[in-house]
């Protein structure tokens, strides 16, 4: 599928390099975007509007990107565009105009949307060819985000917020350069990306267990905006400093690395569905601790749970989708998962959590996130029970 053993190792290195570069780029910029927007005179509710608009665009264009890649076979070009254009647009986030910021957010989402699904399709296919696990590839994104989060905080201690777009843009262009060096995928990858989105969606959405799985993903993923979008603001409101904000993000992302490396072993022992239950329970614990103990030390310390929550959750979810979708529907399934966990959940989380933070502070936001994560646990537990029941029936 990928050629000789040497070629497989070379391409694995390139894919890991892509995750590392995009992780660094996101880590430097995303955790501090809310601070930049507040610096530009936006309220938390307006920040929710700007970020949610981007998520809404993402949901709309995800299937269009799938069909476009299908029609023109532009998998690698799409990855290049998904890095380069957001990098070029980044300076626009210095605007004080709500409308212009919304346009920048929407345009960034328009071009960055396909990156996750296509990169994951590359990674899952390469992992199978190299007889390794997806987590050993995806963890490089977490390494990048961890280092980027720390470097972003360090950068802002010495340079103004208005210049934050510079390292983000440079790292984004580096990601585009790595994507340019990646192989033109074999038809096996195109088959995943290129399968009919319409028929693929219809088939997957007829699976009741898959629908409940997606509901769990929506409930759990929306809580992550409390960290990705609003942690810097919430941390500042309880007395946290800018420099330690970067430390919190670095700790969170660093814990993803060992978590993703051992996720395959956990799934092999307990199953993907129970791993999702475990991860969601840890999410609930993580938010509950921050709701009950609103202190900077707690907010930093609790980020050690990020690996078990997000790391286990993301790897298990991607693998669940891979198992639930037929071979020719792999990218369609990953795109659907991306639409729900990154798109719909992002819209809901950014709007809702922005309002909660504005109305009741971090305690209210984290409290509601705890409830949402518990509801997600119920969904994944139902899926786990249904899978166990189905397996028992087949054994009879």
Domain contains 353: yes
Identify the three-state secondary structure at position 241.
Answer: coil
Q: Is the pLDDT of residue 289 over 60?
A: yes
Could you tell me which residues come within 8 angstroms of residue 84 by beta carbon, excluding any fewer than 6 positions away? 172, 173, 176
Model confidence pLDDT, tens digit, residues 164-180: 999 999 999 999 999 99
Q: Is the pLDDT of residue 313 over 90?
A: yes
Q: Across the chain, which distance is largest between two alpha carbons, in Å? A: 67
Domain contains 49: yes
Cα(59)–Cα(294) distance, rounded to whole angstroms?
Answer: 34
Cα(63)–Cα(275) distance, rounded to whole angstroms?
Answer: 28
Is residue 166 within 8 Å of residue 27, measured between CB atoms? no
What is the pLDDT, as a whole number, of residue 171?
Answer: 97
> How many Cβ atoms are within 10 Å of 113's Cβ, its own excluded?
27
Domain contains 396: no
What's the token pair of residue 103? 């346009």
Whichever domain contains 56, its CATH number is 1.20.1250.20
pTM assigned to the model: 0.77
Radius of gyration of the chain (CA): 20
Could you tell me which residues come within 8 angstroms of residue 179 by beta carbon, excluding any fewer than 6 positions away? 18, 76, 79, 80, 82, 83
> What's the structural domain count of the chain?
1
What is the pLDDT, as a whole number, of residue 45?
Answer: 85
Per the structure, the complete domain to which residue 372 belongs is given by 5-391
Over the chain, what is the mean pLDDT?
87
When pLDDT is averaged across residues 22-40 and rounded to a whole number, the result is 93
Domain contains 314: yes
Q: Is the pLDDT of residue 200 over 70?
A: no
Domain contains 97: yes
What is the pLDDT, as a whole number, of residue 264?
Answer: 86
Identify the three-state secondary structure at position 59.
Answer: helix
Domain contains 124: yes
Cα(310)–Cα(220) distance, rounded to whole angstroms?
Answer: 10
Domain contains 174: yes
- Cα separations (Å) of 101 from 30, 152, 340, 345? 15, 21, 24, 21
When pLDDT is averaged across residues 213-234 and rounded to a whole number, the result is 94
Domain contains 369: yes
- Cα separations (Å) of 148 from 56, 209, 248, 252? 26, 37, 12, 12
What is the pLDDT, as a whole number, of residue 201?
Answer: 67
Model confidence pLDDT, tens digit, residues 70-112: 677 788 899 999 999 999 999 999 999 999 999 999 999 999 9
What's the token pair of residue 147? 């280092």
């Amino acid at each position: 599928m990928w050629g000789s053993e040497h070629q497989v190792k070379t391409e694995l290195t390139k894919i890991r390099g892509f995750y590392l570069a995009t992780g660094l780029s996101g880590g430097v910029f995303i955790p501090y975007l809310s601070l930049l927007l507040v610096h530009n005179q936006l309220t938390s509710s307006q920040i929710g509007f700007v970020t949610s608009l981007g998520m809404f665009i993402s949901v709309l264009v995800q299937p269009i990107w799938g069909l476009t890649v299908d029609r023109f076979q532009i998998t690698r070009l799409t990855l290049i565009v998904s890095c380069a254009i957001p990098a070029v647009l980044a300076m626009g986030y210095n605007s004080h105009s709500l409308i212009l910021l919304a346009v920048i957010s929407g345009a960034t989402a328009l071009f960055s949307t396909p990156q996750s699904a296509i990169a994951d399709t590359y990674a899952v296919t390469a992992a199978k060819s190299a007889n390794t696990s997806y987590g050993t590839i995806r963890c490089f994104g977490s390494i990048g985000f961890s280092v980027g989060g720390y470097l972003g905080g360090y950068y802002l201690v010495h340079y103004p917020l208005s210049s934050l777009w510079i390292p983000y843009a440079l790292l984004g262009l580096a990601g585009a350069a790595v994507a340019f060096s990646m192989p033109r995928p074999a038809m096996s990858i195109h088959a995943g990306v290129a399968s009919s989105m319409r028929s693929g969606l219809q088939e997957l959405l007829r699976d009741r267990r898959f629908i409940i799985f997606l509901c769990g993903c929506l409930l759990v993923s929306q809580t992550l905006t409390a960290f990705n979008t609003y942690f810097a603001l919430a941390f500042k409101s309880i007395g946290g400093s800018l420099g330690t904000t970067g430390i919190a993000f670095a700790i969170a992302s660093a814990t993803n690395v060992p978590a993703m490396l051992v996720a395959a072993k956990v799934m092999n022992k307990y199953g993907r569905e129970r791993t999702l239950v475990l991860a969601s329970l840890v999410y609930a614990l993580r938010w509950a601790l921050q709701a009950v103990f609103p202190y900077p030390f707690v907010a930093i310390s609790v980020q050690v749970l990020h690996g078990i929550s997000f790391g286990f959750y993301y790897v298990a979810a991607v693998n669940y989708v891979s198992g639930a979708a037929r071979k020719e529907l792999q990218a369609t399934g990953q795109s659907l998962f991306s639409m729900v966990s990154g798109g719909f959940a992002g819209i809901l989380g950014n709007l809702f959590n922005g309002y909660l933070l504005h109305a009741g502070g971090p305690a209210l936001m984290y409290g509601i996130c705890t409830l949402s994560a518990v509801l997600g646990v119920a969904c994944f537990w139902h899926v786990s029970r249904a899978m166990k029941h189905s397996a028992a029936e087949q054994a009879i």
